[in-house]
Amino acid sequence: MDATVLFALTLSLMAAFVFTPATGSQLSWRRVNKVKLLGFDWKNCGKPDAAAVMKTLSLSPDPITIPGRLTASASGSTSVDLGAPLSVNVTMEREVGGFWVKVPCLEEVGSCHYPDACDVLNQLIPPGHDCPEPLHTYGLPCRCPFQSGSYSLPQSDFFLPYMDLPSWLTNGDYRVQGVLGSGGNELGCLKVALSISSD
């Protein structure tokens, strides 16, 4: 998929489903003073002829401190228009005693199926509002539909605010895979690996 979509979904889904409690959530959440994301790594995991491909994604510094500043750049392409409904299947795993254990879906957090990422983006950035910076400056879209073509986000600075963590999301090593689909067809796949350390 285009870099904007993958980058937006990667960061938005991390923020929306890992660090922000769902409305009406019965889970236990805790405010943390500082979160560090260490050893961020990524790779495409889609088919060789995948319609949506992330070509580059760079995040710095390492570790990424929250709250704090993040510098990011990304590029990618999609050979098809991407519109609603745009499903995302997320698989989250945590290393426990040398084994990778699948984290279940708990109130939209963990290994979950999101039937329409377009709806998620509309909730985060309601229609009628400008896309946040620096997407707005570079004329990059932040909601569906995303037209086919190549996209690029030059190196840009973001501020990451304080975040809440679910009580079960403890310090450790995590792997997250997101599969993008539409109409039962896989469009692209992205794997992210990182370690979480929180105060």
78-92, 108-122, 162-176: the lowest-pLDDT one: 162-176
Long-range CB pairs of 43-50, under 8 A, 24+ apart, other chains included: 43/190, 43/191, 44/188, 44/189, 44/190, 44/191, 45/177, 45/179, 45/189, 45/190, 45/191, 46/179, 46/186, 46/187, 46/188, 46/189, 46/190, 47/186, 50/186, 50/187, 50/188, 50/189
Give 166 or 95, the one with higher predicted confidence.
95
Which pLDDT does position 9 carry in this prediction? Answer: 44
Whole-structure pTM value: 0.82
Cis peptide before 85 (omega within 30 of 0): yes
Give yes or no for residue 98 having a pLDDT over 80. Answer: yes
Give yes or no for residue 25 having a pLDDT over 60. Answer: no
The model's pLDDT over 42-51, given as tens digits with 9 standing for 90+, comes to 999 988 899 9
Q: Where are the domains of the chain?
A: 3-198
Which pLDDT does position 7 carry in this prediction? Answer: 45
Q: What percent of the chain has pLDDT over 70?
A: 81
30: confidence class by pLDDT, cuts 50, 70, 90: low
Is 92:103 a contact under the CB 8 Å cutoff?
yes
Give yes or no for residue 173 having a pLDDT over 90. Answer: yes
95: confidence class by pLDDT, cuts 50, 70, 90: very high
Identify the residue whose tokens are 């409305």: 23
Instruction: Please state the rounded mean pLDDT for residues 7-13.
Output: 43
Pick the CATH number of 3-198 from 3.30.70.270, 2.70.220.10, 2.115.10.20, 2.40.50.320: 2.70.220.10
Instruction: Please state the rounded mean pLDDT for residues 160-179.
Output: 81
Instruction: Please state the rounded mean pLDDT for residues 183-191.
Output: 91
